[in-house]
Structure 1
């Protein structure tokens, strides 16, 4: 079958026989070409605007991966899992009104591995208890969050990679104070509470609670007064993230430029990412994940064997066998398919 372009060329060849038809054809082709150029400029301009407006506002952290010995790092995924992405997300919920000199010694309160599957249709969020008793390269055994205090993001990445055998592609730091702006930009979020509790000036009643930004911040900060202490706080942090993602989906924020603007301003103002994560990478990832639904997110905690003491410290002991099983699935990009194996480690529908 002859192509349309072959027919056009034939028409051009007939110029001596049919000059009027040839001139019309050239005008048509020129118009089409001009239309394509205009369309490309519009698309390119929109992409440039989004990149400059949002991704361009992110703080970049220099040298997060520069100090790592590539020969000692876990291998990059191969086969179907090769395009999966793994983020190490850290954050601090230390109160902003505490004088800087009286705050904890630079330790991270929140650590999560976030895996976006190769097909961008699913994601897993795995919380790493900050008090996990682990081996920190060059420092010996200590709490996981001490790695950040000893060597910043680089040593924390190295520690997590050694612990899990999972290669970390990117690093993101979140200021939990930014939760206030993010939550308020969504008009608040809904969380289910098992039993009435109080933290700061707020009381959270049993059942459904609609939280504004400051209420949400105090909700995820609460540790005391919860049956599981720090473990329940981890679950609240995950529940909050699940509620935010649900609100984004229900309100169509990702497709409403007006609503998206306020949320993205709050999000980028609260985050910093490694310098290797380019603006183009961020835009591409956002586009790839545009159809990700709330029920495609799985929230887990690294399997725990129990708690105890190491000297004067209260620590968490991870379960070696079940943790190894979880990391194996994560490396193979199949954790979502095997999530049922870790039901005891999953975020419950209604955490404490």
Structure 2
């Protein structure tokens, strides 16, 4: 019985075939890395080109960095505390015909120094407060009188903390961002009948148009603008949670659509650079839904202004407690003491 010798030519062919396969895999990997690199560069470029508005915040001297002084246009600024955390003014504008100059959503966002909590404090637009240089009026009027700078100064005088950054976005942007992430799941405290659909008490899955109606509604709600504010906070939280989910963050199509919607419909103060936003996003990458906490600025009831308008009456003692909590980066203690 004859025995054939092993084929000596076979291993080199196998090795060459293996090298070719390896080369193809490496090539595909390099293409993937290149594509991802291009995607990241695209996102960086979009973020870096968000419109900047220097008037969203007061000048540095009016923020407590120098002697406060007096601005003849909008009154005195009080001495401020730079809290360990970071404070953001977020302005939402419902830019419908005839609504010029309105700030429908006013939020003071406080990110803790450890970047482990985000507190979003909603200031009802009918809250009756002192507006620098204008006397007492609804807080919404501050934006109409002097734009973001006067609104920021009004909030700073209430809290005595410096507002570090500001952003303004119109409601169309919220609608587009909602559709970009594939809709949101929002909890409603009250039911309501909207145009073409019904909001049920409890959880609701909403697309962009439905979300827009959800945050605009107030006439069917028990506490009017206060209830609408809670709806707006619930929506903002739902959008944040959905945006931070792997289904969006790891999906280039959805993430690109979201970034496009946000950058097309937002203006920011000059400190909100692309580099800063990226570093903040990385620092807060472990945030979950329970780490985003909503607060309504304290008010003690409802009343009527001298001009006959309906107002929300500021709870001054509780406001002072909230101000101290912001200054010390201890908002959780304020909430525990409620």
Q: TM-score range by the shorter chain?
A: 0.7 to 0.9
Separation of aligned partners in 1, 2:283 and 2:225:
34
Give me the whole-angstrom Cα distance separating, in 2, the residues matched to 1:45 and 1:105.
39
Aligned match of 2:89: 88
1:321 paired to 2:305: no
Tell me what 1:298 maps to. 293
1:35-75 deviation digits (Å, cap 9, x = unpaired): xxxxxxx89988654321x3123111024345452323543
The unaligned stretches of length 5 or more in structure 2 are: 1-33, 69-77
Among 237, 242, 245, the residue aligned to 1:242: 237
Structure 2 CA distance for partners of 1:208 and 1:47, relative to 1, 3 Å:
closer
User: Which of 291, 308, 311 is residue 312 of structure 1 equivalent to?
Assistant: 308
Q: Secondary structure at the match of 1:292?
A: coil
Deviation by residue 1:301-326 (Cα, 9 ceiling, x = unmatched):
01111110012111111101111111
Which of 89, 113, 116 lines up with 1:121 in the alignment?
A: 116
For 1:214, the equivalent position in structure 2 comes to 209
1:50 paired residue number: 43
SS at match of 2:324: helix
* SS of residue in 1 equivalent to 2:303: strand
Give the conservation status (yes or no) of the 8 Å contact 2:94–2:102. no
Q: 1:123 to 1:240 in 2, by over 3 A?
A: same
Contact 2:159 2:326 in 1 (8 A): no
| Counterpart Cα distance in 1 of 2:132 and 2:190 | 41
5 Å-filtered alignment, 1:144-159, equals 144-159=139-154
Q: Which residue of 1 aligns with 2:54?
A: 62
CA contact (8 A) 2:130 2:136 kept: yes
Once the two structures are superposed, the pairs formed by residues 1-352 of structure 1 within 5 Å of their partners are 48-52=41-45, 54-65=46-57, 67=59, 68-69=61-62, 70=64, 71-72=67-68, 74-77=79-82, 81=84, 84-94=85-95, 96=96, 98=97, 103-310=98-305, 311-342=307-338
Structure 1 residues 337 and 264, CA, compared in 2 at 3 Å: closer, same or farther? farther
Report the number of matched residues: 292
Q: CA deviation at 1:212?
A: 0.6
User: Whole-Å Cα distance in 1 between the matches of residues 188 and 145 of structure 2?
Assistant: 37
- After superposition, the CA RMSD in angstroms is 2.4
Measure how far apart 1:259 and its partner are: 2.6
Mapped partners of 1:46, 1:248: distance in 2? 17
- Residue number in structure 2 paired with 1:15: none
Structure 1 residues 268 and 111, CA gap change in structure 2 (3 angstroms): same
Structure 1 residues 65 and 248, CA gap change in structure 2 (3 angstroms): closer
Equivalent pair of 2:92/2:170 in contact (CA under 8 Å)? yes
Q: Deviations over 1:297-351 (max 9, x none)?
A: 1100011111100121111111011111111111111113542334xxxxxxxxx
C-alpha separation in 2, matches of 1:169 and 1:239: 24
Change (3 A) 1:112 1:139: same
Stretches of structure 1 that go unaligned for 5 or more consecutive residues are: 1-41, 343-352
